[in-house]
Amino acid sequence: MTIEVHTLDDGAWISVNNERRISVSQLWRLATHDFCPCEEADVLVEAFREVGVSYPDIEARIVGECIGCGTDGVTGWVVVGRAIDGEFYSVVPESVHFPG
Ligand SMILES: [Zn+2]
């Protein structure tokens, strides 16, 4: 099974198997990160910088702003979904993520 992942519209979307699946303007809560001084960063997504597959995880580096402290930046790799038998399952953005 292969899964094809890329960004569209200058990073406004993550496309999986040619379907738009994840969009910007969502909050992603990050723990164990070095994005900003907050213990848990609430990052409002402005763009997806890069996407990649570390099977079965689909990962992205997020460009955004922490709404807690205002820090702008790019996150480490965050798991945004999983590929299981060629199907894509998104994670819940508001759950807590642990960037690698
Ligand atoms: Zn912060």
How confident is the model over 31-40, as pLDDT tens digits? Answer: 989 999 999 9
Domain for residue 84, yes or no?
yes
Instruction: Provide the residue range defining the domain that includes 85.
Output: 5-93
- Per residue in 58-88, pLDDT (tens digit) is 999 999 999 999 999 999 999 999 999 888 9
Cα of 30 from ligand 1 centre, angstroms: 10
What pTM value is reported for the model?
0.90
Considering the domain boundaries, does residue 98 fall inside one?
no
Domain contains 100: no
Q: For residue 1, what pLDDT is reported?
A: 65
CB of 97 closer than 8 Å to CB of 31? yes
Q: Give me ligand 1 centre to Cα 96, in Å.
A: 14
Would you say residue 74 lies in a domain? yes
DSSP three-state, residue 58? strand
> What pLDDT shows up at residue 98?
87
Assess whether pLDDT exceeds 80 at residue 100. Answer: no
Q: Across the chain, where does the E strand assignment appear?
A: 5-8, 13-16, 19-23, 27-30, 41-54, 57-66, 72-84, 87-90, 96-97
User: At 52, phi and psi to the nearest 5?
Assistant: -155, 165
Please give the tally of structural domains in the chain. Answer: 1
